[in-house]
Structure 1
Amino acid sequence: MVGTLLLGAAACGGNQESTGGDGTQKVTIGLVTKTETNPFFVSLRKAAADAAKEDNAELIALSGKFDGDNEGQVAAMESLIARHVDGILITPSNTTGILGAIAEARRQGILVIALDTATDPEDAADATYATDNFKAGRLQGAYVRAALADRDPKLFMLDGTEGSTVSQQRHDGFLSGFRIKNDSPEIRGRAITNGDRNRAQAAMENLLQRTSDVNSVYTINEPVADGAYTALAARGLARQVTIGSIDGGCDGVRDVKAGKYAATVMQFPVRMADLGVAAVTDFVRNGKKPSGFTDTGTELITDKPVRGLASQNTDWGLQRCWG
């Protein structure tokens, strides 16, 4: 588990004292992300810190060591429970493995909100603010298939973390949008990347050793898309391959603008963080408890639009990337 970020007033977790004459209660919020280094979670963490500061709350931010580090996330949850925080925002790496820690937090009266990734079952957390990841995958798949026009698909699939709910939802959504099944012969190769750029580059290099007859690539996120592009470009194959992705980070939108990959599906982690922080502070100060799943939105970003799919261009994307 990586380090801790403390922002706001120096209050003990769960402190319900007034901050002054206005009757506003101090609020302590824990945030547990999948990793500390993935740009998506860096943006989410910064947004949560900014929102907490604006709401006169304290944020304690922890994370796993890597995507899939359930033990690290459980340890982070236990630490936050011991500190008696008022609420915990978590992006679960293992949507079932974290359930025991979530149940204990809720048993002790701590509000638990899932961000980015719903728990399994979804109602294990009090509420969820996240991307509809199946929809995001379906948008990527529909775009890549349309961009191929009349060419027969020859597809590589670069997935995230094995057993990850997000990875599976995006994978299944892509297949739906691409209009093929998991065992279709159009899929020429697959690899697990854990959402990591370097692993994705190595995976693509290995796939290309088997066959270079490829014209389309599914990627779980933009670091993976960048790694895939680098490997393809090194072999002089980048121009013949349509790469799609999901994230909508500013670097990713710039990569689409530069032609490294054809399109990305933008997510909104700042919106997730803002909603999560607001929900905890509203619960503590006003007793309003959130519930259910809130879709925080997706937008297809490309400078090469296709018929039948609504999209925004990269200039629009650069104005809103990870907002």
Structure 2
Amino acid sequence: MKKLVSLLLVLVMVFTLAACAPKQPTGGDTSDEQTAKKVLGVVMPNATHGFLGESIKHAEAEVKALAEANGFDYKFLTSKESSEQNNQIDTLINEKVDAIVLWPHNGDELRSAAQSVMDAGIPLIIYDRLINGFTPTATIMGDNVSIGELTGKYFNNYFAEELKAGEVQILEFKGDNSTVPQQRHDGFLKTADKNFKIVQSFSTDWQRAKAQDQMENLLNTSKPEDIEKIKAVFTHDDEVVLGVLDAISGYKGPTKLNIKLVSGVGARRENLDTFKPTYETLQVDQVTYAFSPAYVRQAVKLGLEVLEGKTLQKDYLIPTEEVDRSNEEAFRSSETYKIRYSIQ
């Protein structure tokens, strides 16, 4: 009898210890906390400098900070071209991440991969460049149409007297063939006076050096009477502006230049620093529209909201600010400017 009681006591102790012991996680050697963590994929073009280089720094800083504060994991991927970006998206789909923030190289070349994300039931947030004919979970971008519209209105006011007399000829320097320049171009045409005539349009690949070469070639090969008619340059990027100004300041030809205004997008410190000296030396005014590399942080924040189960709007437009000689010093105190340079 004593042996039976002892055996029963031993069994009770074994079951008690087993019940109190910590449970081991299923699905490998990961902990409960790791198993429960959601994963956000952030996919961008790569760059080491310029607007895109700054954007990468902001995006990586934001996703790292949010992951540490909110307990999720992330995959941060950059690529040289669309084919590599397509492969990265396929990998994220196979890894069953919980949401993806995508800045496409080129929307048309990413349509199939983006559709695969949606077909897999993974929320997809598109940043900056649209994919025509495709509806993701949400799209967030700068208000490019408004940037173009504001530029058109600014040109109207600046050349009000000249427009009364007739045609005013201008040049246009686009970034590339993506939806961003097209939206800015369309916005400009919507508000600009019909007497503005774009006599030539260039695609710069967002490069200062390429814009400089294009402008120099035009100034050195065009007829003097044609050059003299050009009154303004409408560009889609601040770095492009500097290339145009390099060509204007370096021009040694016989023709008198009558370019009075150059517009840009970005409101970069490097450009703001040139506003006053460019006017004093070349008598060329500038206007630019704030478009910060830090805007990508808002796209990453939307990714967090998806992980938290929140429902997003379909479209988010980030407003811009107009900056010229009259307010460039005040703009340096704005939150847009401070956040842009907060990680440098």
Task: State the Cα deviation string for residues 73-110 of structure 1 (Å, max 9, x = none).
Answer: 32332343344333221222322321110111222232
Does the aligned pair in 1 maintain the 2:170–2:196 contact within 8 Å? no
- Helix, strand or coil at the partner of 1:96: helix
Letter in 2 for 1:207: L
Shift of the 238–72 alpha-carbon distance from structure 1 to 2, 3 Å rule, reads farther
Match of 1:292 among 314, 317, 329: 314
TM-score, normalised to structure 1, is 0.78
Larger Cα Rg: Structure 1 or Structure 2?
2
- Helix, strand or coil at the partner of 1:215: strand
Does the aligned pair in 2 maintain the 1:264–1:301 contact within 8 Å? yes
- Structure 1 position 254 matched with structure 2 position 278: no
| Distance across 2 between alignment mates of 1:166 and 1:70 | 17
Match of 1:230 among 243, 246, 249: 246
| Distance across 2 between alignment mates of 1:100 and 1:73 | 12
Letter in 2 for 1:241: K
Does the aligned pair in 1 maintain the 2:152–2:191 contact within 8 Å? yes
TM-score, normalised to structure 2, is 0.74
| Count of residues in Structure 1 that have an aligned counterpart in Structure 2 | 288
Letter in 1 for 2:205: N
Does the aligned pair in 2 maintain the 1:49–1:59 contact within 8 Å? no
| 1:64-79 alignment, distance < 5 Å | 64-65=79-80, 69-79=81-91
* CA shift for structure 1 position 234: 0.7
Structure 1 gap ranges (5+): 1-14, 305-311
Shift of the 200–283 alpha-carbon distance from structure 1 to 2, 3 Å rule, reads same
| Distance across 2 between alignment mates of 1:249 and 1:17 | 46
| 1:48-127 alignment, distance < 5 Å | 48-55=59-66, 56=68, 57-65=72-80, 69-121=81-133, 123=135, 125-127=136-138
Structure 2 gap ranges (5+): 1-29, 280-284
Letter in 2 for 1:179: D
| Distance across 1 between alignment mates of 2:196 and 2:328 | 33
Aligned to 1:215: 231
Does the aligned pair in 2 maintain the 1:256–1:264 contact within 8 Å? no
Task: State the Cα deviation string for residues 36-73 of structure 1 (Å, max 9, x = none).
Answer: 246322232222222222222444333343xxx43343
Match of 1:142 among 147, 153, 175: 153
| Distance across 1 between alignment mates of 2:134 and 2:324 | 32
| Distance across 1 between alignment mates of 2:258 and 2:74 | 45
- Structure 1 position 39 matched with structure 2 position 38: no
| 1:3-18 alignment, distance < 5 Å | 18=33
